[in-house]
């Protein structure tokens, strides 16, 4: 990354805090929660949705990638802490215009080709680029649900173990 691109990334993260309220107001968050609840009935996985406007300045300066941050939040919010290790995190980092998906070993475990998760991310990013945050979030959750239905975790559903409401940071 060049120093100019590092500077522009830092600037985006410094100004990014306002974006969450603008792009993810209460109505969009309600749509995300409803889609998560509805889609979890289609497979034995657990979906957790986190939106972060921007990284802390120290993280930007340290070069933290969206993927690294997603893995950090996956652990911090206990997405891994399900009976059958079947949690999936959908992480949106607005300042970098990036979506990451982290799947626990009971879901990923080599059965789901990485391209399947990448396709889910691209669907969301395309909607977001057009300003369709509710539609993009719901489409992403539905895409993840389709992947989980196509490659179901080996164990039966243990019930709703993770909250359906999205987390906004």
Average of per-residue pLDDT across 56-84: 93
Average of per-residue pLDDT across 4-18: 66
**Count of structural domains within the chain:** 1
In this prediction, what percent of the chain has a pLDDT beyond 70? 86
Average of per-residue pLDDT across 125-148: 96
* pLDDT tens-digit readout, 95-106: 999 999 999 988
Write the CATH number for 83: 3.10.310.50
Confidence of residue 31 (pLDDT cuts 50, 70, 90): very high
Token pair 């239905």 in the structure block, residue? 149
In this predicted structure, the answer to whether residue 7 has a pLDDT above a threshold of 70 is: no
- What residue numbers bound the domain in which 66 lies? 3-168
pLDDT attached to residue 75: 96
For every residue of 100-135, DSSP letters joined together read EEEE-TTT-TTTS-HHHHHHHHHHHHHHHHTT-HHH
Between 109 and 68, residue with greater pLDDT: 68
In this predicted structure, the answer to whether residue 20 has a pLDDT above a threshold of 60 is: yes
pLDDT attached to residue 122: 97
* pLDDT tens-digit readout, 71-126: 999 999 999 988 888 899 999 999 999 999 999 988 866 778 999 999 999 999 99
DSSP state, residue 160: -
pLDDT attached to residue 13: 72
pLDDT attached to residue 16: 65
CA–CA separation, 21 and 15 (whole Å): 13
CA–CA separation, 145 and 41 (whole Å): 9
φ/ψ bin of 104: left (φ > 0), alpha (ψ from -120 to 50), beta (otherwise): beta
In this predicted structure, the answer to whether residue 52 has a pLDDT above a threshold of 90 is: yes
């Amino acid at each position: 990354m060049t120093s100019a691109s590092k500077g522009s990334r830092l600037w985006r993260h410094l100004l990014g805090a306002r974006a969450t309220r603008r792009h993810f107001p209460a109505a969009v968050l309600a749509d995300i929660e409803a889609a998560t609840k509805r889609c979890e009935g289609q497979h034995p996985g657990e979906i957790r949705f986190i939106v972060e406007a921007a990284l802390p300045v120290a993280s930007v300066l340290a070069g933290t990638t969206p993927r690294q941050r997603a893995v950090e939040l996956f652990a911090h919010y206990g997405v891994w802490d399900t009976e059958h290790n079947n949690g999936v995190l959908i992480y949106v980092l607005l300042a970098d215009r990036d979506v990451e998906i982290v799947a626990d070993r009971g879901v990923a475990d080599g059965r789901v080709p990485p391209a399947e998760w990448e396709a889910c991310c691209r669907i969301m990013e395309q909607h977001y680029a057009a300003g369709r945050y509710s539609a993009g979030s719901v489409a992403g959750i539905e895409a993840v649900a389709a992947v989980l239905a196509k490659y179901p975790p080996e164990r039966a559903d243990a019930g709703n173990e993770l909250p359906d409401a999205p987390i906004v940071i």
